[in-house]
Amino acid sequence: MRIALLVLIALGTGAVAPAVAAAQGLEQRTDSLEREIRLLRARIDSLVRVLERLTREDRDTTPARDELAALRAAARAAAARPDTAQAPEPQFVNRADNLNRLNPEISVTGDVRFTATRPGPQQDNVDLREFEFSFQSALDPFARTKIFLAFEEGEIDLEEAYAYWTGLPGGFRIDAGRLRQQVGELNRWHLHALPESEYPLVLREYFGEEGLIGNGLRVYWLAPFSGVGTGTHELWGEVTVADNDVLFDGGNRLAVLGHVKNFWQVSRSVFVQLGGTAMYGRNPDADLRTRVLGGDVRLSWRPPADALYRSFTLRGEGYAVRRLDAGVGDTRYGGYVSAEYQLSRRLFLGGRLDYVEPLGTADPATWAVVPRLTWWQSEWVYLKAEWQRASTPLAGGGRDTSDRFVLQAVWAIGPHKHETY
């Protein structure tokens, strides 16, 4: 009896083991099939224990043997079923940000100008104006940083250096550090990326030669109702140190700035952008208060079927600045209009008209016209020929007219793209 029982158990175990091994050897097995096999094995183990107990008690084990045979048949049938599970689709996991944290993007941009003036004399005709070093990197999954150093006039200047957090609830983004401030259309652009070789007269007169730059905090918000029919609407708020020499006479208090930008796609080829800016700051040490109001507009035409070869852009900005020194002062106005037409894939013809009333005086406005021709040799190199004709008021009355001819060469190495914001 014992020998027959051992033979029966060996046969049962030998029959089940290949089925289990075959089930485990399949590369893809459905969860339901695996659970069924585990249950069958558990029942077999339980029956084996029952048989051992009944054998010790010398009791009849025929019903148990019949059930064990049925379980072996069920296990064989389960293992023979075709596997209908589908292989999971391969998923791409982007590791770029992880690598970028260890290897930041480093770029260098060169900006050299050759000039000639009338009236003379001709001097300082070669201007190694700027070499900009750019460092950009992801800090972690939630924040990135951008740092721009400019080597100009024999010194290294920190142009921008800030970290920013994106993906915040409600469509918000936060920037902290040294920022080119969100004023109008062109102030955010870096010098080498401007349509003309210099900032418009109104930006240089009211914000300084390098434009408006501040140390502080910026909050960006994208309106949730932005869409194809309603356009895209953005709001910027900034709190920075009011240390601009022109607006605040180098103070150390806080200035606040708000900027709204609205963008619409009028047709497949035409895009319109409207913006507004308001800024206020004070320097109590100099008894100085300054208010700035501005508006900007841009119209772009780029036909989809010919986008590489034909485009047209018309933009303009206007400002009203009220600077009260000990409560005394008036509002001065300035602005510009510029246009650019793409003649071919690499050739662009454009120009700008400037008008600005100087701050701190009652002198008449300065005018300037700046036609230009730009040839993009490649994505990384462009050459620009420009004529600057300016008319400035004289202290004793009348006006002085001057001309300057500029040939500019700009090139870049590294992954940094020209940021036009």
Report pLDDT digits (tens) over 191-210.
999 999 999 999 999 999 99
When pLDDT is cut at 50, 70 and 90, the band that residue 85 belongs to is low
Report pLDDT digits (tens) over 48-66.
777 777 766 665 555 555 6
Cβ-Cβ contacts under 8 Å for 139 (sequence gap 6 or more): 101, 145, 163
Note the pLDDT of residue 361.
85
Q: Does residue 171 or residue 132 have the better pLDDT? A: 132
**Taking 70 as the threshold, does the pLDDT of residue 91 lie above it?**
no
When pLDDT is cut at 50, 70 and 90, the band that residue 409 belongs to is very high
**Taking 90 as the threshold, does the pLDDT of residue 79 lie above it?**
no
- Average pLDDT of every residue of the chain: 85
- In angstroms, the Cα distances linking 147 to 153, 293, 395, 412 are 20, 29, 43, 16
Amino acid present at 405: F
**70-84, 188-202, 266-280: which has the minimum mean pLDDT?**
70-84
Q: Does residue 157 or residue 101 have the better pLDDT? A: 157
When pLDDT is cut at 50, 70 and 90, the band that residue 14 belongs to is very low
When pLDDT is cut at 50, 70 and 90, the band that residue 33 belongs to is confident
Report pLDDT digits (tens) over 151-168.
988 889 999 999 999 888
**Taking 90 as the threshold, does the pLDDT of residue 279 lie above it?**
yes
The C-alpha atoms of residue 147 and residue 180 are separated, in whole angstroms, by 12
**Taking 80 as the threshold, does the pLDDT of residue 174 lie above it?**
yes
Q: Does residue 87 or residue 20 have the better pLDDT? A: 87
Q: Does residue 52 or residue 406 have the better pLDDT? A: 406
| Percent residues over pLDDT 70 in the chain | 80
Amino acid present at 44: I
When pLDDT is cut at 50, 70 and 90, the band that residue 4 belongs to is very low
Mean pLDDT across 365-380: 96
**Taking 80 as the threshold, does the pLDDT of residue 178 lie above it?**
yes
| Percent residues over pLDDT 90 in the chain | 59
Name the nearest CA neighbour of 78 among 30, 42, 27: 30
When pLDDT is cut at 50, 70 and 90, the band that residue 46 belongs to is confident
Cβ-Cβ contacts under 8 Å for 361 (sequence gap 6 or more): none
